[in-house]
Amino acid sequence: MAKRFGGRFSPLGRGQDAQNAAMTGTRPVPRPVHHPLESRTRWITFMAVPFLISAFWQGPFGLVMHLLAFGGVAAGMFLTREGLQAEAEYDARRVARRPAIPRKLFGGILTGLGLALGSYVPGAELGAGIIGVAGAVLHWLSFGTDPMRDKGMEGIDSFQQDRAARIISEGEAHLKAMQDAILRTGDRRLEARVGMFAATARELFARIEQDPGDIAATRRYLGVYLQGARDATVKFSDLYVQTHDARARQDYETLLNDLESQFAAQTRKLVEGGRTDLDIEIGVLRDRLAREGILRPAAPPELETPMTMDDLLIPRESEKQRR
């Protein structure tokens, strides 16, 4: 089946995406988060290939050492790349826990160990150890350390945070199933439409991550509604591939519009509710400070005195006399 592709200079490329975003009131699908240093790990792994090639021109001991050297560097770079991705996700969120495993730390240790094994020569153990330590230090200088503390977790219940993370993970699975199912239609517009709905749903996810206490009010959105949207997407894709029914497509897009508006309204409701709670807390604190004499109570606004026609004309006559 022929498949239409859009691009920057295509008639239905970027302009069509902007038009869809303006019509639906949603933003384009955000790109995945990447760390700017991820490409370094691939280059370092490629630079360790000589260990792998030269291993077959060594004796049995040298063969094992060179293979272990390449494996150590490759494994270290794999862990480092995973650690960089975890750090990028940590930096992109306002509320985040530190990674459970310090991958970059272990990646630096494996990289230094691999370099030490690759440079090992019987009788020169000290030199191999120095090279390994130098490699680990250079790894630390190049990639930095792992996040070692939680961010934005003050005053947040850890149980509620774990519960929210589990429910959001289920919601992400439903969104992924929707995006995978709509790919069967081969329609780029439908794929973009589902992607825009996923972006709106992820805005609600981000709000719940910031305040897990809102999970009770939004659980049906993350469970029942998303599961229903997933099932509807699967059934629509199966039907549309066979019939290309325009009525079914219109009904499906209307369903996405309704769901998207509901998710956006729920996100705004949570934001406004948080602002109301903040105003109440500020008001209570100001009243308490006023009772203790630390802060003067706010004076009521003065009422404007009514002005008569004489009050308006007398200043003008006095100005004419001064002139």
Domain encompassing residue 262: 157-291
Cβ proximity of 134 and 118 under 8 Å:
no
Which alpha helices (H) appear in the chain, and where do they start and end? 14-24, 38-47, 49-54, 60-92, 103-118, 125-143, 158-182, 188-210, 215-220, 226-243, 246-291, 309-322
Boundary of a domain, candidates 99, 119, 143: 143
pTM over 0.75: no
| Statement to judge: residues 139 and 164 lie in one domain | no
In a domain, 131, yes or no: yes
Better pLDDT: 314 or 204 = 204
| Statement to judge: residues 163 and 257 lie in one domain | yes
| Statement to judge: residues 174 and 78 lie in one domain | no
Residues in the chain, overall count? 323
142-169 pLDDT tens trace: 998 888 877 766 655 566 677 777 888 8
pLDDT value at residue 243: 86
Cβ proximity of 260 and 200 under 8 Å:
yes
| Most confident listed range (7-21, 113-127, 152-166, 275-289) | 113-127
The Cα–Cα gap between 34 and 44 comes to: 18
| Statement to judge: residues 117 and 190 lie in one domain | no
Boundary of a domain, candidates 117, 143, 169: 143
| Statement to judge: residues 176 and 266 lie in one domain | yes
| Statement to judge: residues 97 and 212 lie in one domain | no
Cα dihedral 49/52/57/59 (nearest 10): 140
198-220 pLDDT tens trace: 988 888 888 877 777 666 667 77
Q: Measure CA 304 to chain center.
A: 52
Question: Is the pLDDT at 137 greater than 90, yes or no?
Answer: yes
Residue type, 81: R
Residue 294 DSSP one-character state: S
Question: Is the pLDDT at 285 greater than 50, yes or no?
Answer: yes
Indicate the average pLDDT of the chain.
Answer: 76
Closest CA to 54 of 119, 113, 1: 119
| Statement to judge: residues 83 and 58 lie in one domain | yes
pLDDT value at residue 167: 81
In a domain, 16, yes or no: no
Cα dihedral 244/223/152/83 (nearest 10): -60
pLDDT value at residue 159: 64
In a domain, 304, yes or no: no
| Statement to judge: residues 103 and 197 lie in one domain | no
pLDDT category, 22, cuts 50, 70, 90? very low
In a domain, 265, yes or no: yes
pLDDT value at residue 43: 92
Better pLDDT: 82 or 268 = 82
In a domain, 308, yes or no: no
| Statement to judge: residues 180 and 95 lie in one domain | no
Cβ proximity of 163 and 102 under 8 Å:
no
In a domain, 320, yes or no: no
Question: Is the pLDDT at 76 greater than 90, yes or no?
Answer: yes
| Statement to judge: residues 118 and 204 lie in one domain | no
In a domain, 100, yes or no: yes
Q: Which residue do the tokens 């219109």 mark?
A: 250
Sign of the dihedral defined by the CA atoms of residues 303, 309, 315, 318, in that order: negative
| Statement to judge: residues 131 and 169 lie in one domain | no
Q: Count how many domains the chain has.
A: 2
| Statement to judge: residues 123 and 169 lie in one domain | no
Neighbours of 70 (CB within 10 A): 22
